[in-house]
Amino acid sequence: MNHGRVLIAIVSLCFILRGPWVAIVWAGEEEAQRSPRSTPVRPDRTSASGVRDDDLDTSRSEIRPLIERFTIDLSSLNRFYTIPISPTRRERLKTFYTEWLQRLEEVNFEALSLDGRVDYLLFKNHLEYLLRQLDIQAQQIAEMEPLMPFARTIIELEEARRRMEPVQSQHVAERLALMKKQIEEVRRAVEAGLREGRSDSQVRGPGAGGIAPIRVTRTVANRALQTLQSLRMTLRNWFNFYNGYDPLFTWWVSEPYQSVDQTLGSYMDFLAQRVVGVRMEEMALGGPQPGPGRGAGGPQRPTTGEARPPVPRPGDTSDIIGDPIGREALLVELAREMIPYTPEELIAIAEKEMAWCENEMKKAARELGFGDDWKKALEYVKTRYVEPGKQPDLVRDLAREAIAFLEQRDLVTIPPLAKETWRMEMMSPERQLVNPFFTGGEVITVSYPTNTMSHEAKMMSLRGNNIHFSRATVFHELIPGHHLQGFMTARYKPYRNLFSTPFWGEGWALYWELLLWDLGFHKSPEDRIGALFWRMHRCARIIFSLKFHLGEMTPEECINYLVERVGHERANAEGEVRRSFGGAYGPLYQAAYLLGGLQFRALHRELVESGKMTDRAFHDAILREGRIPVEMVRAILTRQPLTRDFRSSWRFYDLGRR
C-alpha cells in the first residue's frame, strides 16, 4: 500500500459551520485543495474494503449536503405549490430562498476547501438569481393581470383544495357564476380596446358605453394565453377531484363549472385570433380527463373540443411570437451565468467571429473554384447529401470516425460503456418544424425527409442535413459532445446539476468544434465549409437572440438574417427561430453555444497550450466537475484563491485581437 497517499480522517464538531452540524475534514487532500499552486490530482486509490474508487465520484465538498437538501426541499415545494402565478407560491419561495441564503451566511467560508468555496459561491449566486427571478415574474404577471382578473378565483379554489379545507358547494357555485361574468366583462373590454386601436402598449380608462377598454401588446396577450391554458387545466382538475365523489358538490357546481369552462375556452380562442393573431387548434376531449379521482356521478355536457397552442405549419410563421425580456433582465441572466460582458459587447464578439468565418469561407470557396463567392460554394455543398434511407448509416460512420480521431490523439477519456450505449432515432416531420437538424445526448435524433413531406420540405431537409453539415454536428451531439458530457455528469458531482448552464453544456460541445478545426479534423474544403456554416450559425444566434430580447429585431427579421447572412434554407431558419423563442429555452441559451465554446478555448490556451496540463487531463477534469459556469471551472483548475464576496471578472475574449 502506498502509505503516502493514505488520507487521515478527523472528525471536527462545529468546525465548518456556526451551527449544530458536524463536518468531516479529509486533512491531507483538503490541504492540497486549498493551495492555489496545487496541480489537479485524479484520485487512484483502493479503500480499506478493497473497492477501487479511481473512477468514482469521491468529492467531499462541505457544501454538497446543503445543496442536495435544498434541491430535494425545493422539489417538494414545487410539487405542492403548482400554480406558477400564485402569490402564495411566490411568497413561500421567497421565504424559502431567503432562509437558505441566511443559512449559507452562517458558513465559515475561510475554513472551506476549494471545492467547498466553489459550491458556496455557486449556491449563493443561484439563490440570489432565484430571488431576482421572482421579482421579474411578478412584473410579468402584473402585465397580464388586466386580461385575467378572474385568475385569482381559480388559484384560491385550488389552493383551498390543496390545504384540504372543506368545500362549501353553494358558495363555490356562486363564485364560478361570478367568474363567468368577469370573463365576459374582460372580453368586452378587450374588444373595446381593439376598436379604439390606440398605439400605446396598454390603456385602461372609460370608453364607449362605460366599458374600460383594455389594450395590450401581442407578446403580453400570448403570455396570458399560455397562462390561461394552465389555469383552465387547474380548474378542471379541481372540479374532477370532487365531482361524483361529493353528491352535494355535483348538484351545486356541475352546471356553473361547465358554463364557466365554456366561457373561458371561448375567451381564449378570442384572444388567440383577435389579439395574438394565431389560430388555435381543436383538440378532442374524449376519454379520461386529466386530474386525479374523476367521478362518474352527475350530468356532464359533452365537450367537442378545446383551444390549444397552434401547431407549426410549413411556411407559416405566425406562431413565432416570443417574449423579449429587455436589457436589464438580460444583465440579470448574464450575472447568473458569470459572464462579465454587456449584451452589446457580446454582439460585438459575434460580429468579429462572423467576419473571421467569412474570410475562411472565401478561402475554401477559392479551393473549389468559386472565387470569393462563398455562398455559391455553400450551395454546392448543400447538394452533397446521401439518398433517402442512408442517413442513419452516415451518422453511424461519422460517430465512429470522431471517436477514432479522439482516441488516436489521446484527447479525452471515453468510457467503454459510453461508446456502447448511445442510440439513434429519427425525427418526425412535425418535430422537424421546430428542430430541423439533429438533437443529441444518449440518443441522437436524426432529421431527414419522409415520404409525407412536400417536395419543397423534402429538399430543404436534404440540403440542410447534407454530408458536410452532418459531419460537423454528429460529434457535437454524441462523443465528445452531449452524450459524453451527459454520461459523465450523471456520475460525477451530479448535485451540481442545480447550477446547470448552457454555457457549459452547449459551450462544451461547441468548443470541440473549435478544437477539432484547429487539429485538422476537417480536411476537404467541403468539410471546412460545413464546419464554418455551423460556426457562422452560432455567431448569428448570439446576434439575433440578443437583439430580439433588446427589442431590436422581430422574429421575421431573425429568420431573414439567418437566410441572408448565414445561408440557411428558409424552412430551417423558421424552425431555428421558432425553437429559440418558443419558451422552452432561456433567453441566453442560443448565445451560450459560441460564447461558452470561446470560454473553454480561452481556458485551453491558458492551461494546455501553456504546457500546464495535457489535453486528456484538461478535458477529463472538466467533465468531472459538473455543469457549472465556466469561470468556476477555471477557478477549480487554476486553484484560484476565492473570497466570500467573489464577483465574476474573467474577460475571456479580447475584442482587440482574435
pLDDT, tens digit, 9 for 90 and up, residues 567-582: 888 888 998 899 899 8
Under the banding of pLDDT at 50, 70 and 90, the label for residue 319 is: confident
In tens, the pLDDT along 146-170 reads 999 999 999 999 999 999 999 999 9
For residue 501, give every residue at least 6 positions away whose Cβ sits within 8 Å of its Cβ, in sequence order, or none.
Answer: 337, 592, 596, 627, 628, 629
Mean pLDDT of 628-635: 98
pLDDT, position 569: 83
Tell me the three state secondary structure of residue 557: helix
Distance CA 642, CA 145 (A): 44
Residue 11 has pLDDT above 70, yes or no: no
pLDDT, position 53: 60
pLDDT, position 440: 85
pLDDT, position 113: 97
Mean pLDDT of 380-408: 95
Residue 300 has pLDDT above 70, yes or no: no
Residue with cell 431537409: 461
**96 phi and psi, to 5 degrees?**
-60, -50
Residue 288 has pLDDT above 90, yes or no: no
Nearest to 271 by CA among 242, 322, 310: 310
pLDDT, position 83: 97
Tell me the three state secondary structure of residue 320: coil
Q: What CA–CA distances, in Å, run from 80 to 50, 87, 152, 315, 350? A: 44, 14, 18, 41, 43
Cell of 250: 355535483
| 285 burial level (CB within 10 Å; 0-12, 13-18, 19+) | middle
pLDDT, position 30: 39
Residue with cell 425553437: 579
Distance CA 122, CA 629 (A): 8
Minimum mean pLDDT range among 281-295, 316-330, 568-582: 281-295
pLDDT, position 460: 86
Residue 22 has pLDDT above 70, yes or no: no
Nearest to 538 by CA among 549, 546, 550: 546
Residue with cell 486509490: 45
Segment (H or E) for 174 = helix 169-196
CB 449 within 8 A of CB 462: yes
Distance CA 569, CA 617 (A): 40
pLDDT, position 311: 54
Cis bond upstream, residue 480 (ω within 30): yes
Mean pLDDT of the chain: 87
Render the burial of 193-221: b for 16+ CB within 10 Å, e for the rest. beeeeeeeeebeeebeeebbbbbbbeebb
Under the banding of pLDDT at 50, 70 and 90, the label for residue 658 is: low
CB 537 within 8 A of CB 594: no
Q: What's the distance, CA 444 to chain centroid?
A: 18
pLDDT, position 608: 99
CA dihedral in degrees (366, 368, 369, 370; nearest 10)?
Answer: -70
pLDDT, position 306: 45
Cell of 605: 490556451
pLDDT, position 200: 44
Q: Three-class SS string for 578-642?
A: HHHHCCCCCCCHHHHHHHHHHHHHHHHHHHCCCCCCCHHHHHHHHHHCCCCCHHHHHHHHCCCCC
Render the burial of 600-629: b for 16+ CB within 10 Å, e for the rest. bbbbbebbbeeeebebebbbbbbbbbbbbb
- Helix 218-242 × helix 151-162 angle, to 10°: 40
pLDDT, position 52: 57
In tens, the pLDDT along 447-476 reads 888 898 889 888 988 998 999 999 989 999
Q: What's the distance, CA 461 to chain centroid?
A: 25
Residue 21 has pLDDT above 80, yes or no: no
Residue 283 has pLDDT above 90, yes or no: no
pLDDT, position 281: 59
Residue with cell 452533397: 384
Residue with cell 419561495: 93
Distance CA 268, CA 223 (A): 12
Cell of 500: 446547470
pLDDT, position 314: 55
Residue 287 has pLDDT above 80, yes or no: no
Minimum mean pLDDT range among 236-240, 301-305, 545-549: 301-305
In tens, the pLDDT along 346-371 reads 999 999 999 999 999 999 999 999 99
CB 182 within 8 A of CB 212: no
What percentage of the chain carries pLDDT values higher than 70?
Answer: 84
CB 42 within 8 A of CB 620: yes
Distance CA 431, CA 426 (A): 10
pLDDT, position 34: 39
Between the two ends of the chain, the Cα-to-Cα distance in Å is: 50
Cell of 47: 479503500
Mean pLDDT of 112-125: 98
In tens, the pLDDT along 201-242 reads 444 454 444 568 999 999 999 999 999 999 999 999 999 999
| 8 burial level (CB within 10 Å; 0-12, 13-18, 19+) | exposed
CB 371 within 8 A of CB 381: no
CB 566 within 8 A of CB 378: no
Q: What's the distance, CA 368 to chain centroid?
A: 39
Under the banding of pLDDT at 50, 70 and 90, the label for residue 439 is: confident
Distance CA 603, CA 511 (A): 11
pLDDT, position 236: 98
Helices (H), 317-466: 327-336, 343-367, 374-382, 391-408, 416-421, 429-432, 455-464
Segment (H or E) for 74 = helix 64-80
In terms of DSSP bridges, do strands 423-426 and 306-308 run parallel, antiparallel, or are they unpaired?
unpaired
Minimum mean pLDDT range among 44-58, 137-151, 328-342: 44-58
Under the banding of pLDDT at 50, 70 and 90, the label for residue 317 is: confident
Residue 29 has pLDDT above 50, yes or no: no
Residue 516 has pLDDT above 70, yes or no: yes
Segment (H or E) for 10 = strand 9-13
Q: Where are the beta strands (DSSP E) in 468-613?
A: none
Distance CA 20, CA 11 (A): 14
pLDDT, position 430: 85
pLDDT, position 207: 45
In tens, the pLDDT along 471-496 reads 989 999 999 999 999 999 999 999 99
Distance CA 536, CA 644 (A): 39
Q: Which is more confident, 617 or 430?
A: 617
Tell me the three state secondary structure of residue 106: coil
Domains of the chain, by residue range, sit at 148-308, 327-637
Which amino acid appears at position 525 of this protein?
P
